[in-house]
Amino acid sequence: MLGLTLMDIAQMTIYVVLFVSLYFEIFLLITFFEHVGSARKIASPRHTNTSLPYVAVIVPCFNEEATVAGTLNSLLALEYPADKLEIIAVNDGSTDTTLEVLREFEHHQQIRIIDKENGGKHSAMNAALEFTNAEIIGCLDADSFVEPEALAHIISGFNSPEVAAVTPTIKVHNARGVLQLIQRAEYNLSVFIRNAFALMDAQFITPGPFSFFRRNVIKEVGPWRHAHSTEDLEMCLRLQRNHHKVANAPNAIVYTTAPHTLKQLYKQRVRWTYGFVKNAIDYYYMFFNPRYGNLGLLVLPLSIVSLMSGVLLFSALIWNTTLRVLEEIVRFQAVGISIATTKFDPFYINTSVLMTVIMTLLVLTLILMGIGKYLAKDRIVSIDMPIFMALYGFITPFWLTGALYKAVTSNNVRWR
């Protein structure tokens, strides 16, 4: 009886999670097509050189000797007036040769180098704020690279005075191997989701690679905080709490270096998920609160549901598989090995409600990923999407479980 009860609970959980996921994906798809015209308006810069704002890009660095030179060179190549762009590279107590690499760029008039004791990414961002009077403040992680026209598209996102921050499109740089291919497909899906959330005024992350903010808004809401090692998430939630608009510029393309080992990927995703959980606790009052529109009523609650469902669905799969294996062992003990030869018959195709919902979800996910790929101008023909669909669901529960465990036990995570 106990086994039957657990089986029923697992079955009900699967149905609820799948139907909620299906509803949310359809909602995002409808939202995107309803507002696709307004999204295109952000795509084309409308500034003249005389009206362009003064911009500062902060590059926080901790042990980034292998990538920071490429990051700074990509910023120097930006198609933006040099007299209106400054680059502030902050060495946050690196223990490798990062500072020596940064010193090689001191001769560039646009670049300022700051060397400080290690204090975390938020302290590096705040230290740089003291050295600039720029109207628009941005960040670029020291393992990321930007396309030359990216900043122009970002600045176009500030055409409306209501916009306090603008987020970019992030792509995986030079994906190799199965893990990075999975992440490339995942990032393309994120491109669509971020764009749809922006159209709903419901973004809750201003990602480290190339998000920008109005300086006066930062002064109003306060500087960056430690925020459980997810400063970019907490800052966006703080902006939303104060009812500031966060836009998305899909044509502002940024490339990031994705983890190439399971250990690196696990540590990164545990930090992200842990940070979301802890910040969700800090900003609990935004959940189901109509004052925060789609973000409070829909996006934040469903994000928690998505997090929990990843663990629950995987647990249900393990439970069902275990029961099936036990049934097969009992059958084998009773009748031994039986080899049956059957022909394919369409009559026996599984057309249950559960299977129909699962297949619909898979097709919808591929569609959303394809739209994200289009928005990201990803023209590479690859097997990343099939690999993602086949493997992502099996590796995600491990870091979700790890993050939830750390959140429950109050074990902290670090930026590096």
CA distances from 119 to 77, 89, 91, 93, 145 (A): 30, 15, 10, 8, 24
Residue 54: inside a domain: no
Residue 138: inside a domain: no
Q: How many CB atoms lie within 10 A of CB 365?
A: 18
Residue 55: inside a domain: no
| Per-residue pLDDT at 342 | 54
Residue 332: inside a domain: yes
Residues with Cβ < 8 Å from 206, sequence gap 6 or more?
165, 167, 213, 232, 233, 235, 236, 239, 246
CA distance 200 to 27: 11
| Per-residue pLDDT at 394 | 85
Q: Is the dihedral of CA 28, 193, 55, 52 positive or negative?
A: negative
CA distance 209 to 63: 17
Facing residues of 127 across strands? none
Q: Is the dihedral of CA 208, 210, 215, 216 positive or negative?
A: negative
What is the domain extent for residue 293? 1-41+157-338+345-416
CA distance 385 to 369: 8
Residue 56: inside a domain: no
Residues 205/174/262/318 CA torsion (nearest 10 deg): 70
Instruction: Say how many CA atoms lie within 13 Å of 129 toward its Cβ.
Output: 19
| Per-residue pLDDT at 6 | 59
Residue 28: inside a domain: yes
Chain segment 146-175, per-residue pLDDT in tens: 999 999 999 999 999 999 999 999 999 989
| Per-residue pLDDT at 354 | 75
> What's the total number of domains in the chain?
1
What is the secondary structure of 29-59 as a DSSP string?
Answer: HHHHHHHHHHHHHTTS----TTTPPPEEEEE
Residue 139: inside a domain: no
Residue 204 and residue 296 in contact, taking contact as beta carbons nearer than 8 Å:
no
Facing residues of 112 across strands? 88
Residue 129: inside a domain: no
- Between 384-409 and 353-375, two packed helices, what is the crossing angle to 10 degrees? 100
Facing residues of 140 across strands? none
Matching residue, tokens 């502002």: 252
- The first and second tokens of residue 154, run together, are 């970002």
| Per-residue pLDDT at 409 | 81
What is the secondary structure of 173-234 as a DSSP string?
Answer: SS--HHHHHHHHHHHHHHHHHHHHHHHTT------TTT-EEEHHHHHHH-S---GGG-HHHH
DSSP state of 160: S
Which stretches in the chain have pLDDT values below 70? 1-10, 37-50, 316-317, 320, 336-351, 411-416
| Per-residue pLDDT at 2 | 47
